[in-house]
Amino acid sequence: MDAQIVSTDDHSFTIQVTVSYQDNMLQAEEALQEGLNKVGSLSTLELLAYFDTDGSPIRIGETNLTSKGKVEKEYQTPYGAAIVDRHVYQSSQGGKTYVPLESGSKVIGTATPKFAKMVSSKYSTDAAPGVQRDLAENHGRPVALSFIKNLTDLVGAIAQAKEESWSYTLPEMPHRVASISAGLDGTCLNMMTSGWREAMCGSLAFFDKQGDRMHTIYTAAAPEYGKANFLQRFGSEVAKVIELYPKVPLVGLADGAPDNWRFLEKHCDRLTLDFWHVSEYLAKAAHAMYPRKNQKEVREEWLEEACHRLKYKRGGASRILHQLMAFEQHQKMATNHRKELNQVITYFSNQKERMHYYKNVLENLPIGSGVTEAACKTMVKNRMCKGAARWKDQGASVVLTLRSLHTTHSRWDQFWKKYSHYGYTLAA
């Protein structure tokens, strides 16, 4: 398949392409893909040249620059490599060179913005070998593994550098925001030098008056000692949401980890212990009180009634706690079962002030941290715990930064629109 530019003017250019018939449709489509890549490469070459200068002297800030002449360079595009002769500028005192074409077209490393967006999007969901295979098989774009890694490191560096200063707008909600939940949790990640350590995930979920979730903001951070970086980033997200919705109740949802509550109590109107986490303790108590096989029916009935009381009855947690304490005091129990029941009693004694599920349900407020737990799975486990994967600190940080943007609806496109405005030099 041949392609050539047949005409140009000040505003556009026209490409003519010849398509040949093939013996079967798959063969024809593959030939068409190859031809379209030729068209794309030729078009990108022309578009890149559009951002170059005519070689005249230019001024950047307080510095006068002159062209050293045209120097050939290969750029990577979604369609193939494009080799461009472009002007390279330098001041009369020497020093750092400046390439107007790269600044104007917003090239990242040697990749055009669209190709950088494509590769980093794929890398946020799959490892480099998978990205390499996908590009070759589905796009006709063979690239080196090192190119994928270096390019995504550059994109990640931009995202991390502008994390605080680039604000992202929320999508238009289908209904009025009636409540918001904030949750954080950790999950283990295998690090290259320190073994399994805890990566953190946070979620901010927006609900309508019926309690249906409409949108979620995801935040994730690589393992760090003290978690200060993650808490600062997630705290910034929470503060922005509070500023946007100062009168909407913000519910802090988490499991029993003290660190989570110390963070959430600073920001949230109401603290709620994850209901499903509590129900697991109730199941443990049911087994401790009715451990025998012939007690299965009464065990299941007690658990069902306790969960219903906890969720729908005012003061349910206190009543269940009194029931557990009375059983422990007056019933004969095996030592191991008594120990299990005492653990549940201690848990309820420490956490019952965060078990106001009756009030949450009555007001259609969330009671479960499933959104955050799902984030740990989708953001970290599904991408970063495949096989025997081990991570360096920077590599894990880059991937989780990209995944946070990519997973939060509309943020990925907003990030690239901002990059298209500012470019690599100002961004990074």
Helix axis angle for 145-161 and 128-139, nearest 10°, is 110
- Whether 87 shows a pLDDT value over 70: the answer reads yes
Decide: helix, strand or coil at residue 357. helix
Does residue 73 sit within a domain? no
Q: Is 213 found in the same domain as 253?
A: yes
Residue 337 tokens, joined: 């079962």
* Residue 177 confidence (pLDDT): 97
* Residue 112 confidence (pLDDT): 97
- Whether 189 shows a pLDDT value over 70: the answer reads yes
C-alpha–C-alpha distance, residues 313 and 102, integer Å: 65
Residue 2 tokens, joined: 């041949």
C-alpha–C-alpha distance, residues 60 and 50, integer Å: 19
* Residue 427 confidence (pLDDT): 47
Return the percentage of the chain with pLDDT > 70, whole number.
99
C-alpha–C-alpha distance, residues 35 and 22, integer Å: 13
- Whether 428 shows a pLDDT value over 50: the answer reads no
Residues 6+ apart with CB under 8 A from 38: 1, 2, 3, 17, 79, 80
Does residue 29 sit within a domain? no
The tens digit of pLDDT for each residue in 20-68 reads: 899 999 999 998 999 899 999 999 999 999 999 999 999 998 899 999 9
Contact 141, 79 (CB under 8 A): yes
Does residue 422 sit within a domain? yes
C-alpha–C-alpha distance, residues 259 and 121, integer Å: 33
* Residue 3 confidence (pLDDT): 82
The tens digit of pLDDT for each residue in 104-139 reads: 999 999 999 999 999 999 999 999 999 999 999 999
Per-residue pLDDT, averaged over 151-161, amounts to 93
Q: Is 350 found in the same domain as 293?
A: yes
CATH of the domain at 194: 3.30.420
The tens digit of pLDDT for each residue in 247-287 reads: 999 999 998 788 889 999 999 999 999 999 999 999 999 99
* Residue 239 confidence (pLDDT): 95
Does residue 134 sit within a domain? yes
Q: Is 244 found in the same domain as 183?
A: yes
Return the percentage of the chain with pLDDT > 90, whole number.
84
- Whether 11 shows a pLDDT value over 80: the answer reads yes
For 19-80, strand residue ranges (E) read: 58-60, 63-76
Does residue 306 sit within a domain? yes
Compute CA 50 distance to the chain's CA centroid, rounded to the nearest angstrom. Answer: 35
Domain total of the chain: 3
The tens digit of pLDDT for each residue in 317-357 reads: 999 999 999 999 999 999 999 999 999 999 999 999 999 99
Which domain does 400 fall in, by range?
179-273+388-408
Q: Is 138 found in the same domain as 183?
A: no
Q: Is 414 found in the same domain as 335?
A: no
Contact 157, 402 (CB under 8 A): no
Does residue 374 sit within a domain? no
Mean pLDDT for the chain overall: 93
* Residue 425 confidence (pLDDT): 59
Does residue 80 sit within a domain? no
Q: Is 268 found in the same domain as 201?
A: yes
- Whether 297 shows a pLDDT value over 60: the answer reads yes
Q: What is the 8-class DSSP label of residue 96?
A: E
Sign of CA dihedral 149, 155, 158, 162: negative
Asked whether the whole model's pTM tops 0.75, one would answer yes
Does residue 380 sit within a domain? no
